[in-house]
Amino acid sequence: MERDWEIKKLKRELTSEQKRNKQLQTQAHNLTRNASLLLKHEKFRSKLMGIFSRRQIDLIGGKKRVKWEVEDIAQALAMKSISPKAYQTLRLVWKLPLPCVRTLVNWAQRFKCRSGILSDVLQVLKAEGHNLDSFSKQCVLCFDEMSVSSEIVWDKSMDEIVGPHSHAQVVLVIGLFSKWKQPIFYDFDTPIDKKLLNQLIFDTECLGFPVMATVSDQGGSNQGLGTELGISIKHTSLENPYESNRRIWMFYDAHHIIKLLKSHLIDHGLVLSNSTLINKSTILNLICNNGTEFCYSSGMTLEILELAGAERMKVGPVLKFFSLKTAALAELTYPQQPEIGKFFRTVYEYIQVFSSRIPFDREQSIQSGFGNALSEQNGVLDRMTILMESMRVRFFKKDKVTGIRHLVQRKSILPFQRGALLSMSSLKGLLNDANLLGAKFILTSRLLQDPIESLFSVIRSFGRTHDHPNPSQFKYRLRLILLGSKVRPPTASNVQFDTCSISYVSSKLLEGVKNEASIEGRANSTKMANFYKKKESRETKRLNNKSFPIPLTKAAELTRLPDRAIGFLAGYIAYAVKKRTKKVYGEITRKTPLSEMPGDSSNSREDFAWIYALSRGGLLKPNDLMLESVRRCEEIFSLLIPTLESVRNVTGISRKVFDGIISVYPDIDPDIINPFIRTRLSMRVRFWNKERTNSKHTKLKSKLFCSSASSKPVHKSRNAKKVQHFIKSSK
């Protein structure tokens, strides 16, 4: 019996071992098979990497949800901009892994436009580059400054204090051989230096867009940039930081040079090589001979001599001033001095060479693309070179003995003359590089600042009569342009406006998926409301029932509101809370004399005195709970935001103030804190702007007083006249 039992036991063990052996063989076979499949999958994945992105391959491999990257979104936008119907067909019918339209819309709504290099825009530009050949990708970097209002602004969307700033620097990438353009950088009060320029060139080159030239005006910072780069008349190119064997040619805006030439001619006068003088008297003689009802040249009028400020820097009047008709009129008026007519004709031809917009011009060959009439165009540049080298500008020099100022001739050329010589030399070098790429000509209008000036005109036109935006408005107006907002051409522009220049690469790609609503100056109220309804954070709970860890400073004491103002502010907030949440924190006032105002104490009457003084019946008198809540909020607010320096370059100001109030006074209703923060921040920003204005006026008054007290004769400048006008108006 025992032997039979042992035999059965051994048989059972043998059977189990055989089953286990079979399972192990099956697992080994499966592992070998999976290894071969995995190897094939990796090979297949590596082949797909050249066609699809990582997220698209994950979807092909069976993954249900992915988080799309910026490159995927940009490529999808490029495909959708070509044909929305084809995009939907590829996605829904052919089942290609592409983002849905709702994803594209959400990305456009969250599109960031913070100052600095626009990284999202660069990705969009990179996606559009797949539709361009290498020849069409050759580009020019154009940069210029736009004046903005120097007021301090609370940006509600980003919840930060912006300003004060005086200028916005913008960099635009323009196609040299094809018609496209795109802003890639903006910042406030940031001049372009060597480091920043090299960074912008490097980033643009990394996207596959070779930079061949840079264009700017001759402002002080741009002249300093040229000196830093070692640019001179004999050396007009800089080394490419991305590829050292290629050169980047530097240009100064030809229109800006001509505007400076006209200003010097009218203000001081020009002396030609044969000592011929061209000044304001010369222009007056031309105006007298121009006629009244029938005039030879529309640019020769008395108004041209009276232009000042921004009107003087417009391109239109300058082009009329140096027109072909003006040159013919000068030849007729001064037959004994042919150099005057030759001067106007040379400048006119120089403008035509640097503003070609079509490849061939049958009427004027010099206005064709530079290279299609090379002999005539080089002749114009040679004559302009001789003129700029030999011409001298006069200036006022004060006599040391008599103190009288006289106009004398300069011994050297001015920066605008050097800029003209530099640009003409760079144009010849750029044509040689273009010939190596297979281009036979260059449209020189791509080497002007007209595109960026047109961009500035569109930004100003958003505000209609308010054409001097503050930094926050500038940012959101630029964002709308980048998103493809449909804007009308401005009625008044500083340059010749091209209607097709409004569209940019990003606007073409984002058309149809952008948020149609204007977001300028608006906060995302839903997001803020959800934030204020959140539970207290761990930090808030830790600080509950404890004093706020910021000492009471002298600045906080000075900026705290008086009791009468707090009472009026509490009434306003009570009205806002009632309108928004239907919660009642007060009672409606009636028209009551101040002496008969209700209240048990003089203190309460003082709190509500301003409310009853303004009330015609209908204002809201806050109750004790609202009044005490606003007083506590004001206490913390004055601690956290005493001065402008305390919140400069700080984001999330409202959130920090909210956390500070809740940490000290957790029993205050959040629906009261929210409108309090918005109202007090607006009041504090308005107060800072008023302080800055008063300090400017005080400095101007003291400067005028010191100059009037001195015994020396003082030349009345424009600033002095402005100060005198201000003093009279203030009286």
pLDDT of residue 205: 94
Q: How confident is the model at residue 246 (pLDDT cuts 50, 70, 90)?
A: very high
pLDDT of residue 525: 40
Q: Evaluate if residue 91 carries a pLDDT over 90.
A: no
Q: Are residues 9 and 29 in the same domain?
A: yes
Q: pTM value?
A: 0.73
- Spatial separation of the C-alpha atoms in residues 489 and 458, rounded to whole Å: 7
Domain that holds residue 281: 255-445
- Spatial separation of the C-alpha atoms in residues 103 and 32, rounded to whole Å: 41
Tokens 């006008």 locate to 725
Mean pLDDT of 2-15: 77
User: Are the C-beta atoms of residues 636 and 653 closer than 8 Å to each other?
Assistant: no
Mean pLDDT of 677-681: 90
Task: Please check whether residue 356 lies inside any domain of the structure.
Answer: yes
Q: Are residues 348 and 285 in the same domain?
A: yes
Q: Are residues 155 and 216 in the same domain?
A: yes
Where does residue 292 rank: exposed (0-12), middle (13-18), buried (19+ CB within 10 A)? Answer: exposed
Q: Are residues 28 and 122 in the same domain?
A: no
Q: Are residues 245 and 261 in the same domain?
A: no
Q: Which of 245-254, 527-536, 580-589, 639-648 has the lowest mean pLDDT?
A: 527-536
548, containing H or E segment: none
Q: Evaluate if residue 597 carries a pLDDT over 60.
A: no
Q: Are residues 270 and 323 in the same domain?
A: yes
Q: Evaluate if residue 89 carries a pLDDT over 50.
A: yes
**87 closest CA partner among 79, 95, 78:** 79
Q: Evaluate if residue 476 carries a pLDDT over 50.
A: yes
Mean pLDDT of 378-389: 95
Tokens 């209908």 locate to 618
Q: Are residues 613 and 628 in the same domain?
A: yes
Q: Which of 43-52, 92-101, 566-575, 655-664 has the lowest mean pLDDT?
A: 43-52
Classify residue 461 by its DSSP letter.
Answer: H
Q: Evaluate if residue 554 carries a pLDDT over 80.
A: no
Between 147 and 40, the more confident residue is: 147
Between 493 and 667, the more confident residue is: 667
pLDDT of residue 501: 44
User: Exposure string (b/e) for 474-500, b if CB count within 10 Å is 16 or more?
Assistant: bbbbbbbbbbbbeeeebeebbbbbeee
- Spatial separation of the C-alpha atoms in residues 374 and 366, rounded to whole Å: 8
**Predicted confidence (pLDDT) per residue in 555-592, tens digit:** 455 456 666 678 778 888 888 888 888 888 877 766 55
Q: Are residues 40 and 92 in the same domain?
A: no
Mean pLDDT of 417-430: 95
Mean pLDDT of 16-30: 80
Could you tell me which residues come within 8 angstroms of residue 190 by beta carbon, excluding any fewer than 6 positions away?
169, 196
User: Are the C-beta atoms of residues 497 and 458 closer than 8 Å to each other?
Assistant: no
Q: Evaluate if residue 662 carries a pLDDT over 50.
A: yes
For residue 562, cis peptide bond before it (omega within 30 degrees of 0)? no
Q: Evaluate if residue 456 carries a pLDDT over 80.
A: yes
pLDDT of residue 612: 63
User: Are the C-beta atoms of residues 373 and 359 closer than 8 Å to each other?
Assistant: no
- Spatial separation of the C-alpha atoms in residues 723 and 90, rounded to whole Å: 67
Task: Please check whether residue 716 lies inside any domain of the structure.
Answer: no
Q: How confident is the model at residue 397 (pLDDT cuts 50, 70, 90)?
A: confident
**Predicted confidence (pLDDT) per residue in 125-134, tens digit:** 888 888 888 8
**Predicted confidence (pLDDT) per residue in 520-544, tens digit:** 334 444 444 344 344 334 333 333 3
Mean pLDDT of 482-489: 61
Q: How confident is the model at residue 644 (pLDDT cuts 50, 70, 90)?
A: confident
Kindly list the distances between the CA atom of residue 362 and the CA atoms of 369, 431, 604, in Å, as whole numbers in the listed order. 12, 21, 86
Task: Find which of 44-53, 106-115, 209-218, 618-627 is predicted with most confidence, using mean pLDDT.
Answer: 209-218
**Predicted confidence (pLDDT) per residue in 280-328, tens digit:** 888 888 888 766 555 666 667 777 777 887 778 788 888 888 988 888 8
pLDDT of residue 69: 83
Q: Evaluate if residue 429 carries a pLDDT over 50.
A: yes
Between 23 and 348, the more confident residue is: 348
Q: Are residues 28 and 168 in the same domain?
A: no
pLDDT of residue 370: 95
Task: Please check whether residue 397 lies inside any domain of the structure.
Answer: yes
Q: Are residues 213 and 123 in the same domain?
A: yes
Q: Are residues 282 and 421 in the same domain?
A: yes
**Predicted confidence (pLDDT) per residue in 194-244, tens digit:** 999 999 999 999 999 999 999 999 988 999 999 999 999 999 999 999 998
Task: Please check whether residue 72 lies inside any domain of the structure.
Answer: yes
pLDDT of residue 376: 94
Q: How confident is the model at residue 603 (pLDDT cuts 50, 70, 90)?
A: very low
Mean pLDDT of 146-171: 89
What tokens does 225 get? Answer: 């940039």
- The tally of domains found in the chain comes to 5
Q: How confident is the model at residue 375 (pLDDT cuts 50, 70, 90)?
A: very high
Single-letter amino acid, residue 116: G
Q: How confident is the model at residue 552 (pLDDT cuts 50, 70, 90)?
A: very low
Single-letter amino acid, residue 636: I
Average pLDDT, the chain: 79
Q: Are residues 245 and 264 in the same domain?
A: no
Task: Please check whether residue 236 lies inside any domain of the structure.
Answer: yes
Between 656 and 702, the more confident residue is: 656
Following DSSP, what letter does each residue of 376-412 receive, concatenated?
A: HHHHHHHHHHHHHHH-EEEEEEE-TTT--EEEEE-SS
User: Are the C-beta atoms of residues 508 and 484 closer than 8 Å to each other?
Assistant: yes
User: Are the C-beta atoms of residues 564 and 609 closer than 8 Å to each other?
Assistant: yes
Task: Please check whether residue 586 lies inside any domain of the structure.
Answer: yes
- Spatial separation of the C-alpha atoms in residues 599 and 621, rounded to whole Å: 11
Task: Please check whether residue 729 lies inside any domain of the structure.
Answer: no
Between 573 and 61, the more confident residue is: 573
pLDDT of residue 128: 81
Start-to-end Cα distance in the chain = 131
pLDDT of residue 71: 77
Q: How confident is the model at residue 167 (pLDDT cuts 50, 70, 90)?
A: very high
- Spatial separation of the C-alpha atoms in residues 628 and 372, rounded to whole Å: 80
Task: Please check whether residue 128 lies inside any domain of the structure.
Answer: yes
